[in-house]
Amino acid sequence: MMMFPPRSGSAGRRIQVSTNPPGWMGRKVRLREIAPGDHRTLIGFDRASARNRSPQVGGYRHWAAHRAGAADSGDNLHFAIETLHGRMLVGSMCTIQADPLSDRFSYGVGIGPQHRRCGYAGDAITVLLAHMFGQRRYRKCEVSIYGGNLASLSLHGALGFREEGRLRDTELQRGGIRYVVLMSITADEFAELHPDFTAAHPPVRPKRGRHWRPERGRHWHAQHLR
């Protein structure tokens, strides 16, 4: 869905994050760590999208996104999207271009073709924004969407994202030049539009003391999703 490719090497802030499972739950889905058993399903989502000949170019690719970001660290995180009822894997998402210095981040999200139009994408995005704004203390989220992807544009507009501009894309398809729509939402805007969700995900401040030190390590983010 998002057009920005994952980028590795970002240095992220590390703070104490609640490991309480409800902190990763929305109304329909929860975000969890991607397990080895998910790989076949994610690849199947990509193949199904290819067979459907989706009109969007450069769209989100589940398996490619998570393979490319396997070595990412800091706040570039990877999630499986699982339904609350039935624990069914319906998609995946990842945070990308998370920059602690500018307090901005982006993300990619995709739902399997057979699970679309069920509200899973919007719920997953809301959970992610609540976490990144409330617990990771980012101030702005920016996404880039192809102009022809009306479903994604409508979804993000309903979530409170605002259009900031449009960029020409030189990739030709069906005789026309595509453009990219830049959209964003700030932490304050999200809190105003989603007060109930924000209240359920209060900020978590790092605990400091004589022996305080930030948690570090390659698999730092994974242990907090269990």
Q: What are the tens digits of pLDDT across the range 156-171?
A: 999 999 999 998 866 5
Residue 111 CA: distances (Å) to CA of 31, 100, 123: 13, 28, 12
2-6, 112-116, 151-155, 190-194 — which is least confidently predicted? 2-6
CATH architecture of 21-203: 3-Layer(aba) Sandwich (3.40)
CA gap 187, 189 in Å, rounded: 6
Contact 181, 147 (CB under 8 A): yes
153-167, 174-188, 196-210 — which is least confidently predicted? 196-210
Query: pTM score, two decimals?
Result: 0.73
Decide which of 86 and 16 is more confident.
Answer: 86
| Average pLDDT score over residue span 212-221 | 43
CA gap 111, 119 in Å, rounded: 10
**For the chain, percent of residues with pLDDT exceeding 70:** 63
Please give the pLDDT value at position 168.
80
CA gap 201, 224 in Å, rounded: 15
Please give the pLDDT value at position 124.
97
| 96, two tokens | 């990308």
With tokens 């390659």, the residue in question is 218
Please give the pLDDT value at position 3.
44
pLDDT at 1 over 70: no
Beta bridge partners of 188: none
CA gap 156, 142 in Å, rounded: 11
**For the chain, percent of residues with pLDDT exceeding 90:** 46
The secondary structure of 78-132, three-state, reads EEEEEECCCCCEEEEEEEEEEECCCCEEEEEEEECHHHCCCCHHHHHHHHHHHHH
Please give the pLDDT value at position 146.
85
For 165, the 3-state DSSP assignment is strand
Q: What is the pLDDT of residues 26-69, one digit of tens each?
A: 999 999 998 989 999 998 988 887 776 554 444 566 655 555 44
| Mean pLDDT, rounded, of the chain | 76
Sequence-ordered strand ranges (E) for the chain: 29-32, 78-83, 89-99, 104-111, 140-146, 162-173, 176-186
Q: What is the pLDDT of residues 118-133, one digit of tens each?
A: 999 999 999 999 999 9
Q: Within a 10 A sphere around the Cβ of 88, how many other Cβ atoms?
A: 14
